Amino acid sequence: MTGNATFRHDNTALLAVTSVEAPVVVSSAEFDERLAPSLKRLRLSKRLLERVAGVTERRWWSPGTDFDDAAIEAGAKAMAEAGIEPGEVGLLINTSVTRRNLEPSVAVKIHHSLGLPSSAMNFDLANACLGFVNGMTLAANMIDSGQIKYALIVAGEDAQQTQEATFRRLNREDSTRQDFLSEFATLTLGSGAAAAVLGPADQHPGSHRILGGVSRAGTEHHELCVGGIDGMYTDTKGLLDGGLDLVVTAWHEAQADGWAWDSMDRYVTHQVSNSYTNAIIKAVDLEREKVPITFPHWGNVGPASLPMTLAQEGASLRSGDRVLCLGVGSGLNTSMMEIAW
């Protein structure tokens, strides 16, 4: 056994999962126009984002809307859908990658704006694109232990500032083809928000049971994708290869520990690109029609990506369906979580 052991939850349910789409649609064709001088000088063809990544468009927030405002909206929506009052929440975890300052946490504004009680613990959990799933696992452990009754997990992402800075760098006269390739993944990012409410399953008949899953770390790959407010630099091939190895290892070790994930009703993966999705499907032999795809229109919305996709799929899932949430975050880390819908 390598890395962390698999985990199981006894009495935790997903009561609601919601999303908020950013309203401003920005096409990859528009990105091509913004980068036209660089593409011409470096002899790179247009439509790379569509042809290589499969991202046709992504979304930005309207002027005056901040990422944490969107997380607040998603959180309020999730509590309303779950039928939970703010005063009942014992834990708030913000999993956003986006932040405007190092301290205080993003969580404090969300806690205050949602009117959560002083007794509700609140903090940020940062683990790249895997943060939301990690937050659900942590919350489930605390619910199972009886420490809290209800948890609210949120994520709000804003890709615009980072992408604007990337445009400026790539359009400089001294930018190179390697610069373009190392920042290509930044152009696939998108903006959006999501939230989920977790609570005790025995008090919510008919809710979606969180059964457990597996988590694995491959931190020897910690330099393959490094991001900041002004940019993200990625070894795309190295990230894909390392991520696939980690996913396959975690998958097989989970099977050996009693998890049977080869016949799920839905596989909700973190949304990155065509190549990533196709590679995951092939590596663990998933049924393609059971893997919903949202990245062509939302881009990679970081930790909000997977719960946004899950929220979209909720309308077509039936009671008793088995759902596997599967994500990889730069670092590298992977986590898989089974939900009995």
Annotated catalytic residue, options 50, 88, 129, 157:
129
Residue of 213, 225, 250 lying closest to 329 (CA atoms) = 225
Residue of 305, 310, 231 lying closest to 268 (CA atoms) = 310
Q: 17-50 as b/e, with b when 16 or more CB fall inside 10 Å?
A: bbbbbbeeebebeebbebbeebbeebeeebebbb
Residues 148, 109: contact at Cβ < 8 Å? Answer: no
Q: What is the DSSP string of 253-267?
A: HHHHTT---TT-SEE
Q: How far apart are CA 40 and CA 50, in angstroms?
A: 17
Residue 183 falls in the annotated catalytic set: no
Cα torsion at 301, 306, 311, 317 (round to 10°)?
150
Q: What is the DSSP string of 280-296?
A: HHHHTT--GGGS---HH
Q: How far apart are CA 58 and CA 67, in angstroms?
A: 15
Annotated catalytic residue, options 103, 173, 220, 289:
103
**What's the sign of the alpha-carbon dihedral 192, 198, 201, 202?**
negative
The SS3 of residue 107 is helix
Structure tokens at 18: 């919601």
Residue 21 falls in the annotated catalytic set: no
Which residues are known catalytic residues? Answer: 103, 129
